Amino acid sequence: MAIHHKILGVATLLYLLVFFLHILYFSLKKEKALSAIWITLYGTICIHTLGLVLRWIESYRMDIGHVPLANFYESLIFFAWSVTFMLIVMRKKIPYPVITMCASLASLFLMGYASISPSVDRSIQPLIPALQSNWLHIHVITCFVAYAAFVISFVCGLLYFVEWKGVVPPKEVLDNINYRSVIIGFPMLSAGILTGAVWAHYAWGSYWSWDPKETWSLITWIIYALFLHARLVSGWREKRIALISIIGFMSVIFTYFGVNFILSGLHTYAT
């Protein structure tokens, strides 16, 4: 087993530790546990980044060097990384452990799925000609940062329907954090779609081909555009906004997983 697999395995265990620290915090309600959560999260993202970097170096050693953003396994690992990254970016805006707990559970799930599922190929594969482009990096990074922001929005949307005094933050706070994550996610998703379009123009000869992934990313974009219009123009708040963020995330999931497994298209190398 290559060293990067081991390091990423350690990162997965650290996500589990983050989860247990949250449980500890909720049972003890000690400030110390809260700072332990954040210290562990910072440590986790360092180890996680190290794992990605080692995989990158390993690919160069194999003479097929490329950034680890090229196949389904690598995208899962990067998705988990992006969620943690987004938590750290939004740290000041989300001082509520229940949100960090749910988001790092999402990372744990992604890491676990990536390392356990028999259908995921974990080897480093050479880049096929279509993926040999600098647009790969910017396209994948913007898309997954957007997905990560939508994870936080989804968590807020779900928690809205959970009644648990002292654990779940007040509803208007959830509503506000939900909006804040969507205004990060939406421009990022736009950037992801647009960089994808520019790349498609150079690689396939057309900036828009109505490939299933393109179409579904557009559907997702429209749902979040509706979210923003409902909130900013029609003044919708709380319950209905929470519902749209849940629907939006279902669409993200379908764009990311569903399209790969159910519909075939130009993005098939992502499976």
Partner 1 sequence: MISLLGLDDAYHAPWFIALIALFALSLVLCSLRRLALFVKEKKTIVLPEEDRLLKMDLHSYIPEKDFSETLGLLARRYRLALGDGRGAVLERGRLSRYGVFIIHASIIIILAGGLMGLLFGYRGFVTLKVGETKDRLTLRGKSPAEVPLGFALTCKDFKVNFYPTGEPKDFVSSVEIVENGKAVLGKEIRVNEPLSYKGIRFYQSHYGSAPVFFFNVGGEKVALMEREAFRKNSLLLMVARYESRVHDFGPGVLVAYLDGGEPKATWFLKNVDRLREQDLEGVRVSLNDIQEQLYTGLEASRDPGVFVVWAGFVFILFGLYVNFFVRHRRIYLLKVPGGLLVAGTALRNRGDLDKEFKNLLEEIHGHTP
Min dist. Cβ of residue 188 to partner 1 (A): 9
Of 183, 226, 246, 250, the one binding partner 1 by CB under 8 A: 183
125 is an interface residue for partner 1 by CB under 8 A = yes
Q: Which residues, 6+ apart, have CB-to-CB distance to 14 below 8 Å?
A: 40, 43, 44, 47, 48
Q: Is 126 in the site for partner 1 (CB under 8 A)?
A: yes
| Count of helices and strands (H, E) across the chain | 9, 0
What minimum distance in Å lies between the beta carbon of 123 and partner 1?
10
CB 98 within 8 A of CB 61: no
Footprint (CB under 8 A) of partner 1, residues 91-120: none
**Sequence letter at residue 165:** K
| Cβ-based nearer residue to partner 1, 117 or 132 | 132
Token digits of residue 72: 């389904």
Select from 8-16, 25-33, 108-116, 202-210 the region that touches partner 1 (CB under 8 A): 202-210
Q: Nearer Cβ to partner 1, position 201 or 240?
A: 201
Tokens 């974990």, residue located: 122
Closest CB to partner 1 among 117 and 206? Answer: 206
Tell which one of 39, 53, 128, 162 touches partner 1 (CB under 8 A).
Answer: 128
Residue 118 in tokens: 């028999």
Burial 198-237 (b: 16+ CB within 10 A, else e): ebbeebeeeeeeebbbbbbbeebbebbeebeeebeeeebb
**Is 203 an interacting residue with respect to partner 1 (CB under 8 A)?**
yes
> Exactly one of 26, 208, 236, 257 binds partner 1 (CB under 8 A); which one?
208
Residue 119: CB atoms within 10 Å: 8
The site for partner 1 (CB under 8 A) is made up of: 63-64, 125-126, 128-130, 132-133, 183, 186-187, 190-191, 194, 197-198, 201-208, 210
